[in-house]
Structure formats: structure tokens, C-alpha cells
A and B are shown apart, each in its own frame.
Chain A
Amino acid sequence: MAPAQVDFVPLIPTIVVTVTALAVLLLGLWLRGEQGIWLAAVSIAGLVAALVFLLGLAGPAVSERRAAFDGMIVADNLSTFFGAVALVIAILTILLSEHVLLIERFSQGEYYALVLLTTVGMLVLTAATDLIVLILGLEILSISLYVLTGFARGRLGSEEAALKYFLLGAFALGFLVYGSALVYGATGTTTFGQIANVLRAPGASSPLLLIGLGLLLVGFGFKLSFVPFHMWTPDVYEGAPSAVTGFMAVGTKAAVFGSLLRILTEAFPALRAEWAAVLWLLAILTMILGNFAAIAQRNVKRMLAYSSIAQAGYIVLAVIAADPLGRAGVMFYVLAYTFMNLGAFAVVVAVADRGDVGTTLDHYVGLARRSPILALAMGVFMLSLAGVPPTAGFMAKLFVFTAAVRAGYVDLAIIGVLTSAVATFYYLRVIVAMYMSAPAEEPAPAPALRVPGPLLALLVIALVATFGLGIFPAVTGDLVGGTLALAK
């Protein structure tokens, strides 16, 4: 007897990326040095093919759900959107890393294969409708990222970051597994839909279940670095190779937020009051601490780490709202964040020298003269992260704050707006350094920076997307669910 319902169709994109990863791993044995460009090409080809399958699978009826493997995996609006974002992130990451791998003499086959496997984890995670599959996806994602974090072997910061990330990640996994076990104990099932069914009965809520849900939220909190579970974030972001940091920041955020949104709305709608109360507090702490800690940072990578903590706090506002507008808010914010943050990291990668030296604010002084393109791009991304119109960041913030207000969380929206004002300070400081500070004394003017081709392509894509999403937010209409009618 085969498993009751075998349906590989929703898994096609995942399978395509897995096969590509294996192929790249093997090809990497023969293609070395300059030939590594072919590995990048094969990886991108595989990812584009997966994207075509994913969007083709969704077809005209995006909202139609297609469950497979007895409801463990699903293909629907949410999985299509976050899956597509994950694939786009992977493509951009490969553009971001291509020349770094050559400079640092990293093993290219392994690097691309790990990026692809991380993407597999994201795809599984966003499609998972079962606690066990969710943990499986999260682990594929995390284990690949642990290795990528320590990819700069021999560089102390990178190794320390990998170890720290691994230990705290394993700890977070413990919370998730234990929480899942308790939820299973309380409801007798691990599938989201059935958990919701069990909880629909009156009096189904029990201390066991609430503790389970709490532990699950702690696990998610670790992965999404909500305050007070954020301690690992700055160190890991600073220690990891810059390209990996960019990938990690947007990749985990996209996939794990997609999964969090799904589990809360599909498995625990009955406990909305309980999880909303927990997330309410986490959101306030995250927004305040993330933004205020970022002010003190002189290292741009570390500043972006705290900024990513703060941005996660804003996305939670939309998760708490949990209505169609909130869903659309999470999706739009994640998409906007993907482009503006990867763009910012592309500039960090371009400015830094071999071995990720040169990520402090001092290295950005006078960047406008060394490379006008980089300075302009960085300026746009900083303004977008701060939420200045007409960029994607502004629309994203408008979305989540509107969702919070409509759902009755005016207090959260007010804190969000106030902390955004605080955030403007440290984002603008980068712009001030690039354009308005003169280098104290400069014996020889720093040479002009050359921007490698793939990186330039990434910057152009990110810039176009940042302005595109800011000026025409309706372009995402179909995938975000057609709920973009903010003006109503």
C-alpha cells in the first residue's frame, strides 16, 4: 500500500532545486576558478526553472489550494508567494556572491549547492501544513545556513558566528520540537487543519496546549530574532561573510514569516487572543530595542543586523492583525525588504575588501566620490529601509501600520511610527557619511571602486524593484491576494 495520497506536483519546484543542487555539487569538482561562472549559470537556470514551475503550478487560480501527502504539504497562494520570493532571493544571492567566491577562493560548488539547499528548506517550510514537515523544512534551511555562516574558514569571526548560530539554532529547534510534541499531546494530530478542527470544539483549550503554543512561538522568535530572543543576531550577521549575511537576513525572514503566518492562521485561529497577546509584547520590545540598539553601531553590518531585528518587529504588526489586509501586509513587507536589504548588502559587499575588511562607517566616508553609483544605490536603500516615499519601504510600512490600526492595535501602530522616526537617524547617518563628511586627512585619494557585473545587475534589479514597489504597489496584486486596495 502506497501512502494514501501521493501527489508530487506541488513538490516539483522543490525537486527541481534539489536536483540542481546535486548537479552543481558534482560539477563543482571539475569547474574551478574562473570556470565557476558556469556553476552560477547552472544554479540560476535551475532556480528560474523552479520559479516557472511554481508560478505555472499556481496558474490562473492562485487561491486554489492543492493539498498533497495527506495534508502535509500544500500549494496555495501563501506557498506560491513565499516560494517565489525565496527563489528570487536565491537568484539575487548568487549574483551577490559570484565575485566574492573568486576573491576569497571559496569552494564554489559547495557554496552554490548550499545556497540551493537552503532554498529547498525555504520551499518546504512555506508549503508545510504539518508540524513535522515544518520542522524538517526549518532544519534543511538552518543546517545549510550554519555551514554557510562558517564558510570563511580560518577567519575567527566567521567560525565563532557559525558555532554560535549552530548552538542557539539547535536550542531553538528544541523549543519547536517540544512545543510540537505538546501540541500533539493536546490535540492528537500534527496537521494544521486537524489541529484547528480539534480546537474548534468548546473547552478544547488546555494548559498543555497553551504551553505547546508558547514553546512554538519561542522557537519562531529565535529564528526571526524577536527581542528577547535576538542575542545571536548581531554577532552572527557580523561574523558571517557579507553575502551570506544578506541571504540569511532576507531568506529566513521570508520563509519563516510565511510559515508563522500559516501556522497561526491555519492551526491556531481559535487561540488568536492568546498568541496575539504574546506577539503584541514581542513586537513592542522588538521595535524599541532593535531601533535604539542600532543607533549605537559603528559597523554597517551590525547596524543592518539590528535594523533587521527592528524590521521583523514591524512585520509582526501585520501578523497580529491576521486579517486579509494583515496577510497582504506581511507579504508586501517581506517582498520590499528582500530588495532593499539585499541591495544594501550588495553595496556592503562591493565596499568591503578581501576578508570582509572595511564594513565600518568610516569606510563609507566619501563613498560618493569613490563610486557615485554605489553611494546613490546605498542612499536609496537606506531611505527605503527608513520608510521614505516613494520607495518600497514606505508602502510596506503604510501597509503594516494600516493593518494594525484596522485590527484595533492603534498602540502598536503609534510605537511603530515613533520608532521609525528613531530609525531614520541611523539610516541617514550612512548617507551623511557617504555624501557630506570629508575624509579627515587623506594622504592619497582612495581609488575608485569597480563594481563587478553581476553585482551591478543585482543593484539595478533592487533599485528598480524598490522604486517599482513604492510607486506601483499594485504590481503584486495577484499574488498578494488582490487586497491592495488601501485607498478604500
Chain B
Amino acid sequence: MPTAYLPLLVLQALAVGFTALILAVSFLLGPRRPESHRMVPYESGIRPVQDARRRFPVKFTLVAMLFIVFDVEAVFFYPWAVTYRQLKLFGLIEMLIFVAILLVGYVYIWKRGALEWE
């Protein structure tokens, strides 16, 4: 049994060793030119407009959370679509039940006013 895990151990050793090697090489050989723009979050990206820690409307959180729920729903559709031909009517009914349950949630958040911006 333990010999079966030997390749994993070798892989682990290689991964750790390689990481250490790369870090050591860049530490030893890399040129060091301290410049001010090296301290920005995205060195070659868009210039930051202001500090990231700013006040943010909490409504975004709510919308983001609700979005996740319906976004994850889509994940379940893909495997269903792939196996649709095998599952036939059974799969269709199961999926309709799933969607119906989500619909209840949708009606609920709508009626509770979670989707209203003002």
C-alpha cells in the first residue's frame, strides 16, 4: 500500500523543490530597481482611481447574493442538458421541479422588494 503513494511523494518533493529553486534564482539573479510605480496593485494595469476601502452601497451585496443563486442554477443545467437524451421525460420533470422551487424563491424575493433599487 505505501509504495502506491510513492509517486505522489515524489511529485510533492518536486513541486516544493522547484518552487524553492525558482524563488532562489530570482532572488539571486534578479535586478533590483526600486521605483514608485512598482508599489501599485496592478503594475502594468489600469491606474487605481482611489483607495479600495471606500463606502459601497450595501444593495450591491444583496444583488450579488441573489445573482449567485440564479447563477449556480445554470451550473445544474449543463450536466442535465448533456444527459438529456438518456434521462428523457424523467429528467425533464426533475428539472421542472428544480426550476419550480427556484421560482418560488424568485417570487419571494420579488414580493419582498429585494429587487427594488430605491
Contact = CB atoms under 8 A, between A and B. Distances in A.
Interface of A: 1-2, 6, 22, 25-26, 29, 206
Question: How many residues of B sit at the interface, in one of the four size bands?
Answer: 10 to 19
B101 interface: yes
A29 B106 CA distance: 13
A29 B112 contact: yes
Nearest to B87: A2
Contacts of A29: 108, 111-112
A6 B90 contact: yes
B104 interface: yes
Contacts of B86: 1
A217 B104 CA distance: 37
Question: 7 nearest interchain CB pairs?
Answer: A29-B111, A1-B86, A2-B90, A22-B104, A25-B108, A26-B104, A2-B87
Contacts of B1: 206
B24 to A, nearest CB: 33
B104 A25 contact: yes
18 contacts: A1-B86, A1-B87, A2-B87, A2-B88, A2-B90, A2-B91, A6-B90, A22-B101, A22-B104, A25-B104, A25-B108, A26-B104, A26-B107, A26-B108, A29-B108, A29-B111, A29-B112, A206-B1
A181 to B, nearest CB: 15
A2 B93 CA distance: 12
A316 to B, nearest CB: 33
Interface string B82-106: 0000111011000000000100100
Contacts of B91: 2
Contacts of B101: 22
Contacts of A1: 86-87
A22 B101 CA distance: 8
Contacts of A22: 101, 104
Contacts of B111: 29
Interface in B49-90: 86-88, 90
A439 to B, nearest CB: 46
A2 B88 CA distance: 8
Given A26-B104, A26-B107, 13 more contacts: A1-B86, A1-B87, A2-B87, A2-B90, A2-B91, A6-B90, A22-B104, A25-B104, A26-B108, A29-B108, A29-B111, A29-B112, A206-B1
A27 to B, nearest CB: 11
Contacts of B88: 2
A375 to B, nearest CB: 42
Of the listed residues B86, B88, B112, the one surrounded by the most CB atoms of chain A closer than 10 A to its CB is B112
Contacts of A206: 1
Nearest to B88: A2
A25 B107 CA distance: 10
A1 B91 CA distance: 10
A172 B8 CA distance: 28
A29 B104 CA distance: 12
A1 B85 CA distance: 8
A2 B91 CA distance: 8
A91 B105 CA distance: 24
Nearest to A21: B104
A1 B101 CA distance: 24
Nearest to A25: B108
A26 B112 CA distance: 10
Contacts of A2: 87-88, 90-91
- Which of A2, A25, A206 has the most CB atoms of chain B within a 10 A radius of its CB? A2
Contacts of A25: 104, 108
A26 B90 CA distance: 27
Contacts of B107: 26
A6 B90 CA distance: 10
Nearest to B1: A206
Nearest to B5: A208
B46 to A, nearest CB: 35
B56 to A, nearest CB: 21
B116 to A, nearest CB: 15
B102 to A, nearest CB: 11
Nearest to A208: B1
A422 to B, nearest CB: 47
Nearest to B101: A22
Most central of B1, B107, B108, B112 by chain A CB within 10 Å: B108
A318 B110 CA distance: 49
A1 B83 CA distance: 9
B79 to A, nearest CB: 13
A426 to B, nearest CB: 43
A26 B86 CA distance: 35
A1 B88 CA distance: 8
Contacts of A6: 90
Contacts of B90: 2, 6
B13 to A, nearest CB: 21
A22 B107 CA distance: 11
Nearest to A186: B1
A2 B87 CA distance: 5
B90 to A, nearest CB: 5
B47 to A, nearest CB: 37
A1 B1 CA distance: 37
Contacts of B104: 22, 25-26
Contacts of A26: 104, 107-108
B99 to A, nearest CB: 13
B107 to A, nearest CB: 7
